[in-house]
Structure formats: structure tokens, C-alpha cells
Amino acid sequence: MPPEIRDASTGDVVRVEAWEADALVGHAVARPVPLFEKERFCDVQVDSGRRREGIGSALWVELERRVPAGETLVCRILHADADAVGFADWIGHDLVEHCPAPQADPATVAWAAWRAAQPVPDGAVAIGSDGVPEADLEEAWVDYYVWAHEPVGLLRPRADVAAASAGLGTYVDHGVSSVVLRGGRVVALSLVFAEPSEDGIVRILAETPRPDEPDGLHLVAAAIARTLTLLASRGVRLVEMEGRTFDPHLPDVFATFPPHTSNPMSVVRLHRSR
């Protein structure tokens, strides 16, 4: 007999589980995406030894049935995960954003040379993220967040983004995060968040607060170089860069990197039956 699919939803989180006797063999969840209208991130997981038995398909069908009509379901797909890629292809999807996710070992000679070749542009200065008033850091983050996310979904009003960003500094690892100032304004960010990721990989989120910032490529590169230098001094040997192929400056920065590994990922919008 196929596993029993049970509803385990709580609050506004839709969750279904696959049970076989007293054993949980899979689950699917759809959580509202903060700051977006009618959008949910979804994830379907099946025990590795029970895949390709139709359990994931049954979970998806039940999850999709329980999510209100008209809401968008998106998910992240690591390109290295063949099962995830195949499952998303079976459902059907449209690309939202592609993230090349280049990786760096900042302690190597090649990356030290790259860092040394990224001077701060004339008239600008690179400093720690705690070297500016909290309000300035938050404003720069909100500016970035709005232009970076408006193209990919129904973003809530800027005032909501600003309210959610209050206290941003408490979540940033100021010991390695960087900002570039020019004319007293934050013109580039290179942030590492303090909470460790689930996979233990240190990630840098970098860009300009304004997408049309003049000389943005060199400003972003200088910010990243400062952060990589500080991470190297900590002994960090694996750093992954966040960013999308349509960002205004990061693709050109990535093109200057020395030979490197990568862990590409895509965000896709899954096709719905209703």
C-alpha cells in the first residue's frame, strides 16, 4: 500500500506528510514568502531510500490542492541535485532567477592576487558595515532589496520592506561585512549574515544600493575584496557568492574571478493546476 498522506498544516503554513505505519517517509511544505504578495516557497522531501516510488508526486498533488488558488509556488533547485531537477521538470516550471554561485577559497594565492587587484575607486572608501549609522545601512539595504526583488514577484510596498529591515545590523557579521562610501553615501554593500547557514557555507551578498550607480562594477569588487580579505584572516576556506545573472554589476565582477568552483542554483515558479 502507498504511504498515507496526512495534513500537518499550522497557521498559514501548508504542510502535508507521508506516513508508513509509524514512520515519516516524506513531507511537502509551502510557506508564505515574507514581503511578497500571494507567493509561497515550497519544498518536497522524500527519504533517499524511498524515492521514485510516487511518494513525492502524491505529496505535491496534495500540497498543490491545499494552497489557495491564485497563489504562486516557487522553489530553489540546486543544479547538482538531479532528483530535484527532474522533479521540477515533471511538475513544469518557469525560471525566476539563476544564481551562478561562484565559490572562493580566499586564502589561496590566486584569490589573494584577485583581491589585491581590486582597488577602491578614487573618491570612495571601503569600511566595515558598522562604520556607518544604522539608519544609513538600513536605507542602503532597503534600496537594494526593492530593485533586486521587484522584477521577480509582487513585492509589498517599500514601507513594509523598511519596517522588516529595522534592526538589520544585529543580523550582520560586522567583523567581515563591508560597505563602500562615496560622498557620504553607501554606494556598495558586501554583507555576510551572522547566523550560520544550514550547510555551513559562508555566503556574501554584494551589490550597489542603486542599480545605476556609476562605476558600480569596481565599487562592488572592492567591497567583496575587503570582505574576502577579512574572511581569509579568519581561516575561512570556502565562500560562496550570492547574486543573479541579471544583477547590474555582479556578473561582470564574477567574470574577473580566477578559476573557481561553483554551486549553481535556480529559483523557479512551479506550474499550478489552478
pLDDT at 52: 85
- CA dist 114 and 179 (Å) reads 19
The pLDDT tens digits of the residues spanning 25-60 come to 999 999 999 999 999 999 999 998 888 889 999 999
170: phi > 0 → left, psi -120 to 50 → alpha, else beta; which? alpha
Could you read off the pLDDT of 65-74 as tens digits, one per residue? 999 999 999 9
Decide: 182 and 124 in contact? Cβ < 8 Å.
yes
Q: Where are the domains of the chain?
A: 4-99, 103-256
Q: What is the pLDDT of residue 25?
A: 95
- Under 8 Å between Cβ of 62 and 55: no
How far apart, in whole angstroms, are the C-alpha atoms of residue 17 and residue 46? 10
Outline where 3-118 has alpha helix (H): 55-66, 82-91, 109-116
Same CATH topology for 4-99 and 103-256: the answer is yes
Q: At residue 149, what is the residue type?
A: H
Each of the 274 residues of the chain gets a pLDDT tens digit; together they read 789 999 999 999 999 999 998 899 999 999 999 999 999 999 999 998 888 889 999 999 999 999 999 999 999 999 999 999 999 999 999 999 999 999 999 999 999 999 999 999 999 999 999 999 999 999 999 999 999 999 889 999 999 999 999 999 999 999 999 999 999 999 999 999 998 888 889 999 999 999 999 999 999 999 999 999 999 999 999 999 999 999 999 999 999 999 999 999 999 999 998 7
pTM: 0.93
Residues 110-145: tens digit of each pLDDT: 999 999 999 999 999 999 999 999 999 999 999 999
Give CATH for domain 4-99.
Answer: 3.40.630.30
Beta bridge pairs of residue 24: 19
Per CATH, the number for 103-256 is: 3.40.630.30
